[in-house]
Structure 1
Amino acid sequence: MAEAYKFELVSPERLLVSETVESVVIPGTEGEMTVMANHSPVMATVKPGVVTVKPVSGAEQRYVVFGGFADILPEGCTLLAESAVAVSDLNKADLASRIQDAKDDLADAKTDEDRTKAEEFLNHLATLHDAV
């Protein structure tokens, strides 16, 4: 059994998870990363995607996040999400609304940099929609 450590998933609305876990898979902007106890210190940006939590106490849990930051230390990990919800509570209409907003942002982009950011965000949301 893997060594346990403290994990917290926080959104502006509430604390979604605060428990001892074996591992967490985070959708980082540089690629998915599995975080375990004694991980090297890292601050990572999080793209829209699914966070998979494997608690010591039981079954795997999955949460949808819409961006944010992960603060990873050897003794724990805190993910500060822009917005987050359990996959089982995901509102498909809300996700469709976010995709439409991203399409509108892409259409309204004035610079190449804004257009690139909007395209990346829209692609992340579309991938997320297909995954859940």
Structure 2
Amino acid sequence: MANTLQFDLVSPERSLASLEVTEVQIPAADGDMTAMADHAPTITTLRPGILTAVGPSGRESFAVTGGFAEISAEGTTVLAERAYPAGADARAALEEHLEAARAKASEAQGEHKDVAEKLVDDMVKLLADMV
């Protein structure tokens, strides 16, 4: 199919998706971005958020807690720290991740505290976006 790209999503535990898509909406660390066919080569880090793949068979959304995305003209590969199909089943795991992030933020100091608090804020937004 013209104007499609290969999308692969993997986490340390498993491969979650390998699809032909028209676009991938990515929660990049520097802001949301959309990868499409013929995209300029890019590597970006991810923040916690909803990653959405749109293709001929519809939309598939995944909750990611961080990681990296490698984008090329032919495809997008996401290596996620943790990733779950977006939905009720993911909520409990994400809430545990949020509590761990809050615990680390309460112990962090200086610049590390700012980064840890940003992670907590991003996780709270991710959980809110899942409703």
TM over 0.5: yes
CA-to-aligned-CA distance 1:23-71 (integer Å, 9 cap, x gap): 0000001100010000000000000100011122x11110000100000
Alignment TM-score, normalising by the size of structure 1: 0.93
Count of residues paired in the alignment: 130
Matched, 1:115 2:113: yes
Q: 2 CA distance for matches of 1:127 and 1:89?
A: 16
Q: 2 CA distance for matches of 1:78 and 1:91?
A: 21
Superposed CA RMSD in Å reads 1.4
- Identity value in percent: 36
Q: Secondary structure at the match of 1:39?
A: coil
Q: CA deviation at 1:2?
A: 6.6
Q: Secondary structure at the match of 1:51?
A: strand
Q: Structure 2: where are the runs of 5+ without partners?
A: none
Alignment TM-score, normalising by the size of structure 2: 0.93
Moved runs in structure 1, 4+ residues, more than 3 A?
none
CA-to-aligned-CA distance 1:62-116 (integer Å, 9 cap, x gap): 000010000011111100000101013533222222111111101111x311101
Q: Structure 1: where are the runs of 5+ without partners?
A: none
Aligned to 1:94: 93
Greater Cα shift, 31-40 or 1-10: 1-10
